[in-house]
Structure 1
Amino acid sequence: MSTELLVAETSTSALLTGDAASSRRSRRRPGGAPQTAGGRIRLAIRHVVMYAAALIFMIPLIYAFFSALKPNGEMFSMPPSLFGSEIKWSNFAEVFEYGPFWTYIGNSLLVAVLGTLVVLVVSTTAGYAFGRLRWKGRDLVFVAFLATLMVPAEVLVIPMFQVMQWFQWVNTYQALILPFAFGAFGTFLMRQFFRGIPFELEEAARVDGAGPVRTFLRIILPLSKSAVAVLAVFTFLSFWNSYLWPLIVTVDYDTLGTLPIGLATFSGLTGTRWDLQMAAAIISMIPTTLLVIILQKHLVKGIAMAGLGGR
């Protein structure tokens, strides 16, 4: 009888202790610290500072958007004003009548998407070879490969153009995509991420009979989605905003011109249509903005875990 009483008392005390612990956890913040008045004030201050900083960074975008709705003659009116005398939504439609703007958008999408896919394939495979495989001279080759990051792209323009002439690729999509598909940045980023994956996973796969290719495709790559998303966004933005190289290697702008070249067509001998140029710039930001919003979760995680996050 005493044993049953002892068990009952122990169960009751355990329940009470659990209730008390649950009550204490409910008063804690997600981070684990007690939700005191001072903690709530500091949290509120942090949010206010972050929202203020975000607003400051958004001011140029907001001004550009409303400038795209102004008449062309009021773009540089003094004193500056956010709104014009009228709101001209027709500026966004007139952009597509001013030149082959749909062609520019299509070319930019094609070059950016294909270029991003090529870079992802090259960077992930090269990063796996440099970060996970053991072969003679690996570190020396990687240092030499990484040294190419110190060479400015402008210095490489003339040699790359000569190579494109040798291959007879001038004024082609290959010339817009392939020269920048083998950069060292993506390889370095993926190598840093791959080196953080436990080697025990690879050893377990090897014990099960998986070779390097199967291990890469079935284990390493699925664990690297966040790093791949970061590289995809950076690469897409690089191809999308590229101006100097398409300007040099393209001859027929109306057929193979990209968006940055299209934005320059609003400036001519008769003046600059600043209203249409602003509207075109806002349109050109839509794909990249959507891409960042869609991959935001992976971007934050990837930057925190990869080499750019101080790992």
Structure 2
Amino acid sequence: MSKNTKNLLWEAFRYSVIIFGAFWMILPFFWLFSASLMTPQELLAFPPKFLPSEPQWKNYVEVIKKIPILFYYKNSLIVALSVTISVLLTSSLSGYAFAKLKFTGREALFRFVLSTMMFPVFIFIIPVYYLMKIFGWLNNHLSLITPFIVSGYGIFLMRQFILTIPNELLDSARIDGANELKIYLKIVLPLLKPALATLAILTFIGQWNSFMWPLIVTSSSQHLMTLPVGISRLSLAFSTTETQHLILTALVLQIIPTVALFLFLQRYYIKGFVLSGFGEV
């Protein structure tokens, strides 16, 4: 067998595996969209149907009438965007300090930041809720935003990426009279685009799909309900068999912003992981 034939067979095998994996990745999304256009009877049919007999586009109108989904959309956008912007700011500033500035206790403090990622989030729920109550923020969007404005993972990711920036580049800026803030704004931030895009995607999706904390906080403040909590109410307020198709319709509406964000920033996503360099801690 010639070398060209071996290479051709290897490429065919690689693409076959990729196509097979992509098929199974896309299939749940395809079924979700298809099921959102079915009637309750078609959803419960056996054997299961993959395509509706007649697309029920009215499901999207009905779900808007059943629950104030646009209001939940607004709350989710406020929370997800606010947390994402805050995390990008705090993580990039802290990452720059840990990577390029020398100060007493830097390594110990960075290891403390790393250690925070080892604790499960559930152990902080009661203390943080109590703090929000003390500050009087339980009836405010601040209770959904403030606990998440600093991310240990975000600081780690930014620090690892900034370590790859040559010190000579920053030193030359200092020689020219630039202070640390100007170096951060004019040199570091433009080079951080791939890592910032990666962190933005992960943070936005995490906050957009967050359920446990918004459920606890909004139990007494329904005007703060986010989309996942609002959709859960759809199954609690009505019979599941009657609203199953509407729940799937609402889920389609929920994933649209996250899919759009990923498609918009996907070229930076892989690049951010590749260039961040996780070797040095």
Q: TM-score range by the shorter chain?
A: over 0.9
142 and 95 in structure 1: CA distance in 2 versus 1, 3 angstrom threshold: same
Residue 127 of structure 1: aligned partner: 95
Bigger mean CA offset, 79-88 vs 215-224: 79-88
Of 274, 285, 291, which residue of structure 1 is paired with 2:255? Answer: 285
In the alignment, is the contact (CA less than 8 A) between 1:100 and 1:254 conserved in 2? no
Residues 1:149 and 2:117 are matched in the alignment: yes
The equivalent residue for 2:233 is 265
Higher mean C-alpha displacement, 250-259 vs 146-155: 250-259
Identical amino acids, percent of aligned pairs:
38
Residue of structure 1 equivalent to 2:63 = 95
1:140 counterpart letter in structure 2: A
Aligned to 1:173: 141
Aligned-partner Cα distance in 2 for 1:180–1:173: 12
Give, as a single letter, the amino acid of the residue that structure 1 aligns with 2:187.
I
SS of 1:295's equivalent?
Answer: helix
Pairs within 5 Å for 1:62-141: 62-141=30-109
- Number of residue-to-residue matches in the alignment: 276
Greater C-alpha Rg: 1
C-alpha deviation, 1:306, in angstroms: 1.3
Distance between the aligned counterparts of 2:54 and 2:159, measured in 1?
54
1:299 maps to 2:269: yes
Separation (CA, whole Å) in 2 of partners of 1:262 and 1:190: 34
Gaps of 5+ in 2: none
Q: Give the 3-state SS of the residue equivalent to 1:221 in structure 2.
A: helix
How far the C-alpha of 1:115 sits from its partner, in A, is: 1.0
Q: 1:212 aligns with which of 180, 188, 196?
A: 180
1:304: how far off? 1.0
- 1:201 aligned partner: 169
Q: Which has the higher contact order (CA 8 A, sep 6+)?
A: 2
The question of whether the paired residues in 2 share the 8 Å contact of 1:172 and 1:250 is answered with no
Q: 1:248 aligns with which of 216, 226, 239?
A: 216
Secondary structure, counterpart of 1:42 in structure 2: helix
Q: In the alignment, is residue 51 of structure 1 matched against residue 15 of structure 2?
A: no
CA RMSD of aligned residues (A): 1.6
Q: Residues 219 and 229 of structure 1: is their aligned pair in 2 closer, same or farther, counting only changes over 3 Å? A: same
2:207 to 215, 226, 239: 239
